[in-house]
Amino acid sequence: MSKPVSKVREAKLELYRKKGKIHAKATAGHFNSLRWAMVWFTQAIFFGACWLSWEANGVSRQAVLFDIAHEKLYLFGLVLWPQDALLLAFVLILAATALFFVTALAGRLFCGFACPQTVYTTIFTWIEARVEGDHLARLKLDQSPLSGRKLLLKAIKHGLWLLFAAWTAITFVGYFTPIRELLPTLPGWNVGPWEGFWLIFYGAFTYVQAGLAREAVCQHMCPYSRFQGVMVDAATKNVSYDAHRGEPRNVRRQAGNTGDCIDCGICVQVCPTGIDIRDGLQYQCINCGLCIDACDEVMLKTGTPTGLIRFMSENEAAGQAQPAGLLRRPRLAVYASLFVVFSVLGAWTLADRSLLLADILRDRGALLRETAEGKIENVYTLKLMNLDELPRDYRIEVDGLPGIEIVGQREFTVEPGSIRPLPLTVAMPGDSGESGIRPISFRIAARHDPATVVVEKSSFVLP
């Protein structure tokens, strides 16, 4: 018999924040400083890069811009087109292998320090603490009945959150529409439909994810925590409680056979995901290290060595030695090798990238024709693609048979980022003594840069 609907709903609700909203206690220490350093670093890049300008060929433009309308990605002096999708694939593969490598090395380190969810939750929690006070004051305020003060504090907090989320959304859209063009359109909401959609969506997304959902995203929505198990091994270092040293817990610091943990519970109070690391490794743990900072402070106060909670591997917890060297850890070796291989491939693809692409097709309808002057002619379609930022002039030459030449125009202009199909007629003397299908080659050279040359092979049909 199926469960009543109310029971099913209860079961679902229990899975989500069964302990209520988490108000983590603030802590100080190495890992907290590192977290804030990452917040400043990532946000300086995110909020700053869209304001940088780049001068190219006498024209100033936004240095980092995803110009979807014109199918271009500007990265300072580099302009990428859809034809450069392979480079993007390399970047994604490199990011994935770097993530796998770091996970095999130290678990969810990315989650604890660099994940946007963590970074924005840290910022939103900081705003909340400035408005409502420390974790105890926030808890008290949440539990207090509705009052004018409570309404005012909540309104200020949500107002600041919304302002920050709005600026985040404007910055995000500013990477797709030049931010200096976007800003003047905002006061009168003269934005396009896509810009309007993304401004509202990204703003609401930031507000909900970082302000309201917070650690619930890490606990219930993030798929990474669920499959990280396949990337780690017994030598992976995770934030762990040294149960051998800590147990049995020594509540009153009595002498005798007791552990170093004084059961103060501060490691639980500072945890942004609300777990007790003393219960063992848990998928909710984001390896942020805040419980290490908090416990170290307790250890210093009690005159006990720090490191009761620390980054520790399963091997170390079991008193076994860590494998020496990368090669003894197959996962790490595989991820490192993949990273090196794809870095080299990406660098080579970038270095070998030409701003001119050409494709030649011989007209298969009419194989050859003989002219009144006794010449043999073949007709081709040459497709030229200019990947440069400016219109470019190209000169075309043909080679491979005696007396072979292009009939008519040999120089063409191609607009930036466009493909220009060109009908080409190639002729050679009919009395050259050559016959059958002979290989020839087309040489296309940019007039502004002798190094930009493409040679395309084709064939010439003779009687």
Residues that bind ligand SF4 (CB under 6 A): 239, 241, 246, 261-267, 270-273, 275, 277-278, 285-291, 294-295, 298, 308-309
Judged by CB, which is closer to ligand SF4: 80, or 239? 239
Judged by CB, which is closer to ligand SF4: 267, or 445? 267
Judged by CB, which is closer to ligand SF4: 211, or 246? 246
Judged by CB, which is closer to ligand SF4: 119, or 291? 291
Q: How far is the CB of 221 from ligand SF4 (least distance, A)?
A: 16
Q: How far is the CB of 276 from ligand SF4 (least distance, A)?
A: 8
Judged by CB, which is closer to ligand SF4: 290, or 404? 290
For 99, residues 6+ apart whose C-beta sits below 8 A from its C-beta are 110
Q: How far is the CB of 286 from ligand SF4 (least distance, A)?
A: 5
Judged by CB, which is closer to ligand SF4: 245, or 383? 245
Q: How far is the CB of 42 from ligand SF4 (least distance, A)?
A: 18
Judged by CB, which is closer to ligand SF4: 179, or 268? 268
Q: How far is the CB of 223 from ligand SF4 (least distance, A)?
A: 18
Q: How far is the CB of 230 from ligand SF4 (least distance, A)?
A: 20
Judged by CB, which is closer to ligand SF4: 310, or 329? 310
Cα–Cα distance measured from residue 160 to residue 156, given in angstroms and rounded to the nearest whole number: 6
Q: How far is the CB of 22 from ligand SF4 (least distance, A)?
A: 10
Judged by CB, which is closer to ligand SF4: 56, or 281? 281
Judged by CB, which is closer to ligand SF4: 232, or 277? 277
Q: How far is the CB of 103 from ligand SF4 (least distance, A)?
A: 15
Q: Helix/strand/coil (H, E, C) string of the chain?
A: CCCCHHHHHHHHHHHCCCCCCCCCCCCCCHHHHHHHHHHHHHHHHHHHHCCCEEEECCEEEECEEEECCCCEEEECCEEECHHHHHHHHHHHHHHHHHHHHHHHHHCCHHHHHCCHHHHHHHHHHHHHHHHHCCHHHHHHHHHCCCCHHHHHHHHHHHHHHHHHHHHHHHHHHCCCCCHHHHHHHCCCCCCCHHHHHHHHHHHHHHHHHHHHHCHHHHHHHCCHHHHHHHCCCCCCCEEEECHHHHCCCCCCCCCCCCCCCCCCCHHHHCCCCCCCHHHCCCCCCCCCCHHHHHHHHHHHHCCCCCCCEEEECHHHHCCCCCCCCHHHCHHHHHHHHHHHHHHHHHHHHHHCCCCEEEEEEECCCCCCEECCCCEEEEEEEEEEEECCCCCEEEEEEEECCCCCEEECCCEEEECCCCEEEEEEEEEEECCCCCCCEEEEEEEEEECCCCCCEEEEEEEEECC
Cα–Cα distance measured from residue 423 to residue 420, given in angstroms and rounded to the nearest whole number: 10
Q: How far is the CB of 102 from ligand SF4 (least distance, A)?
A: 15
Q: How far is the CB of 66 from ligand SF4 (least distance, A)?
A: 34
